[in-house]
Amino acid sequence: MRKIDQKRTRNKQIILRATEKEYELIQKKVEKSKLGQNDFLLKAALQKNIIVIEGLQKLLLELIREGKNLNQIAKALNQNETFDPNEITELKEKLIALWGAAEEILKEVKK
């Protein structure tokens, strides 16, 4: 431990509520880590970066919708059904735009 950590006094409390199952899982992880519960929870909380990405849920839902459309087109084509080429072009453009949006989000996350 660093000298600064040795001199620090922990005078603030955080109360964590958990279900019985969550509590048991945490206790198993604490035991496995060979750390005290307080040290384990502090390490778990402080050593993980939490990234919040605005708009990700909406983007994922749209990707799912367009993926389903793509599957419907593929199924129709595999069954030798005729399909309007304009619909395929439109879907392709939507997917390109969605992947562009996904790339922008990834660029922000990597910063």
Domain boundaries, the chain: 3-46, 56-110
Residue 26 near residue 35 (C-beta atoms within 8 A): no
Give the 3-state secondary structure of residue 88.
Answer: helix
Q: pLDDT per position in the chain (111 positions), as tens?
A: 555 555 668 888 899 999 999 999 999 999 999 999 999 999 999 987 777 777 888 888 998 998 898 888 888 888 988 878 888 888 889 889 988 988 888 887 776
Tokens 């799912």 — which residue?
Answer: 64
Question: Given this model, what pLDDT does residue 41 score?
Answer: 93
Nearest-angstrom CA–CA distance, 30 and 45: 13
Predicted pLDDT of residue 108: 77
**Tokens encoding 103:** 């790339």
This prediction has a pTM of 0.48
